[in-house]
Amino acid sequence: MDNSAPRPSQSARPPQPPRGLRHLLGLPDLTGNGRFLAANVIDSLGNGLVLAFTVVYFTRTTDLPLVEIGAALTLGHLLSLPVPALVGPLLDRIGPRAVVAVGNLVSAGGFLGFLFCRQAWMIVLFQLVVQTGSNIYWTSSRPLVVLAAREGERQRWFALTSSLRNIGAGFGAAVAALLLQFAGTTGLRAVVVANTATFLLAAWLISSWRPTGEQPRPAGAAAPADRPAGSYRDVLRDLPYLRLVAANLGFVLAAMVLPVLLAVYATGTLHAAAWIVGALVVLNTGLVALAQTTVARWGEHRNPVRVLALAAVLNAVAFGLFGALSAVPGWAVEAGLVLAVLVYTLAEMVGGPPSNELSVAMAKEHIQGRYQAAFQLSWTIGGAVSPVVLTALLGRGPLWPWVFLAAFSLLSLLLVQGLGGRPAKSAEPVASVEPAASAEPVASVEPVASVESAASASAEVSGAA
């Protein structure tokens, strides 16, 4: 089958002409998607509440040494790496809503288990549970956007969910910091309990959401006889898509700069004041939260491959600026860091929506879940290797991590060339399995951590993105 031509169908709803403030801000049509939006915010809030303080929590609530806690958390994360590959076929069989709801329930169980951790093996176990839920969520999050988006609005939805993740994660981290400051260990335990509740609520919101773009069929109904077969072999034979996955690894490594590299580089190498690091993270988070949808509006009518290539170039420029700061006088460091973070944040906002758009648009729709599992692999691998790779390179010299990141960004630029903005023609959409309809129709009442995220990137490291 030709891999160069699919465009998966979005929603069957006819597009409505954008108008007014919504169009100016780059917002999609939100009609019927309130529960989806709320679930995104709640997921992000929950991630922000705990993920930035996981190590602190276990140092306060156990007698284990810091090194042992770090090793246990890392091992739990590594053990969860195969989860996306297992989630892919499940997505193809039952659809993203049910899978995301299960992922939220799994995350809730893992965070609840944090309350009972006293030994290293227990931290490994419940970290594995938490990361399993997170990987389930992130693998399924892009197909959820496909359900919510009207024709031509997918990039706006990807931008909006990214913005909401930054808002939720930042607010959650701020609340957790205040509780830690004024309530100590008791406050941290309260955060874990609250986090468990947020994931339970998010699971209910997603499972009760009825997107009008979804095509339900009664539970137990047989799949259509003409449904094409598919497996991971089809994904592995799709070389353009594998190039997209490899290119995305460069953007994943870039996303790890704030949570992994910035603080140690700015304070340890450049001898900048500690407060500047916090200010830079706030600058990045605030800009993404406020401007992401507007930037997406700029890019939505342009070739997504060219927009993604521009983001790779901007990343390379940002990393060049970061590296050059090791050779400037001290009085110029803080201004230079602000400039570098501004360029870095612009690259993040420019590259996020087209990357996610291409990940679903280039996939064959009848095995969209398997394609998303392959795409998520770039996030799981990048999140797992970036701490050791970037810190090891920094240990060899202040320029090495930035040379590595700039080179990888330029490699991503080369990999996306020739992908084409048009995906290949896919099979007919596969209906998701839903319970038999009740006597009364369910009203469409009608959101995250996507991690791509530091509160958002931290979430992404933990999960993912």
227, part of any domain: no
3-state secondary structure 173-231: HHHHHHHHHHHHHHHHHHHHHHHHHHHHHHHHHHHHCCCCCCCEEECCCCCCCCCCCCC
How far is Cα of residue 265 from the mean position of the Cα atoms in its chain? 24
254, part of any domain: yes
At residue 420, what are phi and psi to the nearest 5 degrees?
A: 85, 140
Q: Would you give per-residue pLDDT tens digits along the chain (465 residues)?
A: 444 444 444 444 445 544 566 666 667 777 778 888 888 887 777 776 666 678 778 888 898 888 888 888 888 888 988 898 899 988 888 888 899 999 999 999 999 999 999 999 999 999 999 989 988 988 888 888 888 777 777 778 888 888 877 777 677 667 777 777 777 788 888 888 988 988 999 899 998 888 765 655 554 444 454 556 678 888 898 999 999 999 999 999 999 898 888 888 988 889 888 888 888 888 888 898 888 888 888 887 888 899 999 999 999 999 999 999 988 888 899 999 999 999 999 999 999 888 888 988 888 888 888 999 999 888 888 888 888 888 889 989 999 999 999 999 999 999 998 886 444 443 333 333 333 333 333 333 333 333 333 333 333 333 443
5, part of any domain: no
> Going by C-beta distance under 8 Å and a sequence separation of 6 or more, which residues neighbour residue 198?
42, 43, 45, 46, 49
Query: How far apart (Å, rounded) are the C-alpha atoms in residues 70 and 81?
Result: 17
Structure tokens at 261: 């590299």
**Sign of the C-alpha dihedral, residues 204, 145, 82, 72?**
negative
Query: How far apart (Å, rounded) are the C-alpha atoms in residues 465 and 461?
Result: 8
Number of domains in the chain: 1
223, part of any domain: no
261, part of any domain: yes
Query: How far apart (Å, rounded) are the C-alpha atoms in residues 307 and 313?
Result: 10
Query: How far apart (Å, rounded) are the C-alpha atoms in residues 126 and 119?
Result: 11
Backbone conformation region of residue 435, classed left if phi is above 0, alpha if psi is from -120 to 50, else beta: beta
Coil, strand, or helix at residue 249?
A: helix
> Going by C-beta distance under 8 Å and a sequence separation of 6 or more, which residues neighbour residue 265?
322, 394, 398, 401
11, part of any domain: no
Structural contact between residues 25 and 294, judged by C-beta atoms closer than 8 angstroms: yes
- Which whole-number Å values give the CA distances from 433 to 220, 255, 430, in the listed order? 8, 35, 9
Residue length, the chain?
A: 465
Structural contact between residues 261 and 387, judged by C-beta atoms closer than 8 angstroms: no
Backbone conformation region of residue 228, classed left if phi is above 0, alpha if psi is from -120 to 50, else beta: beta
180, part of any domain: yes
- Which whole-number Å values give the CA distances from 59 to 164, 193, 219, 255, 462, in the listed order? 30, 18, 46, 27, 18
- Domain span at residue 84 reads 30-215+233-434+447-463
Query: How far apart (Å, rounded) are the C-alpha atoms in residues 373 and 84?
Result: 5
How far is Cα of residue 313 from the mean position of the Cα atoms in its chain? 21
222, part of any domain: no
> Residue 298 belongs to a domain with what CATH number?
1.20.1250.20
Number of H helices, E strands in the chain: 17, 2
Letter string b/e over residues 201-234, b meaning 16 or more CB atoms within 10 A of that residue's CB? bbbbbbbebbbbbbbbbeeeeeeeeeeeebeeeb
